[in-house]
Structure 1
Amino acid sequence: MAERHQTFLRRAAGEERPWTNDEILERYPFTNVFRVYDRTTQYILRHVINKGSQDLHESCFRVILFRMFNKIETWKYLKEQIGELTWADFDVYTYEKVLEANLPKQLKRFRYLKDAHGWLRLFPSMGDFTALQLILDLNMLPHFNWSENEWVALGPGSKACVHKIFGPGVRSHELDAIQWLHATQDEHFSRLGIPVSRRPRLCQSRRPGVTMVDLEHSLCECEKYSRAKHPEIKGKRAMVAKHAFVPDPRRPTADLPLNWLKGPPRAVKLTHPPPVYAAGGKVEWEIFRIVAETTAPDARTPHYVLRWTGYGPDDDTCQPEMDLVEQATDVLKSWRSMKERILTRIYDYQVLSSNQLKQRKSHMVDVPDAPYLW
């Protein structure tokens, strides 16, 4: 991880290749330790976020629009054909129906990255990875400042790496393992003889080391690296990469969101209230809200991630639906009502789009072939 970041710094400084003595890093393509320095994220920051109106709705619209196709060439093509891509000139009815009536302000309500992610997961086709990438892109806007040190959604690559590090006994506890690695990263850098000066560091306003988000991001690449370095440690995949590393001749950029340069977000103050002792000496804790809905691998009924009053994401628990039916009916009703509103708006949009498409078919004309950009 440390050497991969040093490789990036050498490239960004304009040094000539080779940028590392590590044969594996030199031979195969690996993403950066810090997600913000990856090519597509840098493009989003430079050309999608920083260019155009900085209004909350306009900037959110551009980020969401880009992530719909997630391709730089498509964004360029749209701008060439349409001009400035703005919410004001977009179909407001369609936009609001898809995004549950004012998505930007809805997201502003959440204190934690985990909460915003859980809410986005309610939308159809929004899986863990898609929702996480969108939330992380939005977090580069000046309107949001969620901490990336408290939680992260794990992808298959990072889970596979955790399994290789800790063994099969860590299954279903992968997030706990990553939280431990994050909390003890200084010890591991020291154990490996990596001085503070060579440890990954985002900028001078941040302490050396990586966030939970960047650690998960890096573990995916560590798993890929291990296939070449330690082929005897078997995993689901054996191939390191489909092709060799061919560097872009252009020097990589290293821009950062301006609000990140001011330092990390302030931690939310928590009260940690004691439990209430109900009749018969039964201990009860107050549920603040449902954070996310999930289905346990070994269960057929929905499970809910619960936030407890006065506590943060670290103390969230995952409870089966039956627990809420018996003890927190109002909380469950509120969650279901919000979910139903979202799905209703999505359905209304689909009906609208279908009708518009039927009307447009009668006016379709042949157009010249264009590059396939999607």
Structure 2
Amino acid sequence: MNGRAGDRRIGTRRHAVSAPEVFIRRHPPVPSLVFDTYWYFASERQSIFHARAGGAEAPWTDDPVLGAYKFTNAYRASDRTSQFLIKRVIYNEDHDWPSTLLRVLLFKVFNKTATWNLLEASLGPMSLNNFSSERINAVLDDAIASGTAIYSNAYIMPSGAASMRQARKHRMHIALLSDIVRGSVSADIQKANSMEQAYNIIRSVPSFGPFLAMQFLVDLNYTQFLNFSEMDFVVPGPGARDGIRKCFQSLGDYDETDVIRWVAERQELELSTRGLEFKTLWGRPLQLIDCQNLFCEVDKYARVAHPEVEGRTGRTRIKQRFRAHAEQLTPWYPPKWGINEKIRQCQAAPGPSRE
């Protein structure tokens, strides 16, 4: 690469004689009207986040769609479930890597804060030393018997192949976690030389498809034990692919993964071209996983804002309505990102931060 987005340079040199350099220009994606909405949505959703984090009273937006329906934040790590994971699951106290791996995957399999709170209230702080499939299954069996939902509805956890299935889905997942933490996966992930290599290790776990493997890796990368750049690698999920289809008339010579990187690398240009003010995450620009998530959310937003634009799935409505949480949002991120001190300084300073 010569550093210019969309160009590929192929050069050869023989016997110290210079050969002509050939430039092959890749045809870039062709945006649709919804691509403008992508950047508007990112800017407005992030503005809502900063308003709420700063303690502003509702309403936080004049947008009728954003005001009525539930959408995730522009930055994945800002969502309440991710914040719970970072604060309460990963960094609540010191854990070694094997216990951290267990804690993250145990939480993410159910992806529900109430389920995590139930397990720790019943069994104590989760770690590899006190991990017991029988005790965890007993707690979850009782919860289900009482009518409690133990899985989040954010995504569907697969039941696994026929050979893996048990009487209840959670029993298969707990058995799978037991195999993971006692096998080679833990050490293999830590030895991975790239985010893609770590992804392939997680992807090799039975019943962990591409979407789950990517999501779990991003969560594990929040820990102090992994330090991959979020600009290294991404795998588009089903919702993101739907959003990409709506945002572009053609992908040109790019695939969906290329498009996500193209968008992430052009974010400042795209926002400024449209005259949009975007308040970053205290200096942290959108990463690949954030741009991937935004495509998923814009797919939903466009069902109301652009009903004439069809996606891959043909869905036409947004299921979840917005309900404000009473708890005040106090964002906190992996310390290695170096932004928690900036948050404290901004909160202590008079007036809103415009960073």
Q: TM-score by structure 2 length?
A: 0.67
SS of the equivalent of 2:247 reads: helix
1:241, CA displacement in angstroms?
1.4
Bigger shift: residues 6-15 or 109-118 = 109-118
The structure 2 residue matched to 1:123, chosen from 205, 208, 225, is: 205
CA distance in 2, matches of 1:47, 1:192: 39
After superposition, give the CA deviation of every residue in 1:196-229 in whole Å (9 maximum; x if it has no partner).
xx3242234xxx5311111001111111111211
Residue number in structure 1 paired with 2:294: 218
Is the radius of gyration larger for structure 1 or structure 2?
1
After superposition, give the CA deviation of every residue in 1:182-201 in whole Å (9 maximum; x if it has no partner).
2212211111102xxx3242
The structure 2 residue matched to 1:27, chosen from 41, 44, 68, is: 68
Whether the 8 Å CA contact 2:74–2:294 is kept in 1: the answer is yes
CA distance in 1, matches of 2:68, 2:179: 47
The one of the two structures with greater contact order (alpha-carbon pairs below 8 A, sep at least 6) is 2
1:89, CA displacement in angstroms?
2.1
Segments of structure 1 that go 5 or more residues without pairing to the other structure are 264-374
1:251 to 1:74, Cα distance in 2 relative to 1, 3 A: same
CA distance in 2, matches of 1:171, 1:246: 41
Residue number in structure 1 paired with 2:344: none
SS of the equivalent of 1:167 reads: strand
Residue number in structure 2 paired with 1:233: 309
CA distance in 2, matches of 1:96, 1:243: 34
Residue number in structure 1 paired with 2:337: 260
Percent identical pairs in the alignment equals 31
Residue number in structure 1 paired with 2:319: 242
The structure 2 residue matched to 1:209, chosen from 272, 275, 285, is: 285
Whether the 8 Å CA contact 1:203–1:261 is kept in 2: the answer is no
1:53, CA displacement in angstroms?
2.9
1:219 to 1:167, Cα distance in 2 relative to 1, 3 A: same
CA distance in 2, matches of 1:226, 1:95: 38
CA distance in 1, matches of 2:217, 2:298: 24
Residue number in structure 2 paired with 1:144: 226
CA distance in 2, matches of 1:233, 1:94: 41
After superposition, give the CA deviation of every residue in 1:301-345 in whole Å (9 maximum; x if it has no partner).
xxxxxxxxxxxxxxxxxxxxxxxxxxxxxxxxxxxxxxxxxxxxx
1:172, CA displacement in angstroms?
7.8
Q: Does 1:107 align with 2:152?
A: no
Q: Does 1:9 align with 2:56?
A: no
Q: TM-score by structure 1 length?
A: 0.64
1:88 to 1:124, Cα distance in 2 relative to 1, 3 A: same
Segments of structure 2 that go 5 or more residues without pairing to the other structure are 1-41, 134-174, 341-355
Whether the 8 Å CA contact 1:170–1:177 is kept in 2: the answer is no
1:52 to 1:163, Cα distance in 2 relative to 1, 3 A: same
1:95 to 1:172, Cα distance in 2 relative to 1, 3 A: same
1:95, CA displacement in angstroms?
6.1
Q: Does 1:86 align with 2:127?
A: yes
Whether the 8 Å CA contact 1:66–1:75 is kept in 2: the answer is yes
Q: Which amino acid aligns with 1:178?
A: I
1:116, CA displacement in angstroms?
0.7
After superposition, give the CA deviation of every residue in 1:8-62 in whole Å (9 maximum; x if it has no partner).
1101111111101222111111100111111111111111111233312222221
What's the C-alpha RMSD, in Å, of the aligned pairs?
A: 2.4
CA distance in 2, matches of 1:79, 1:252: 23
Whether the 8 Å CA contact 1:37–1:253 is kept in 2: the answer is no
Q: How many residues align?
A: 257
Residue number in structure 2 paired with 1:356: none
1:262, CA displacement in angstroms?
7.0
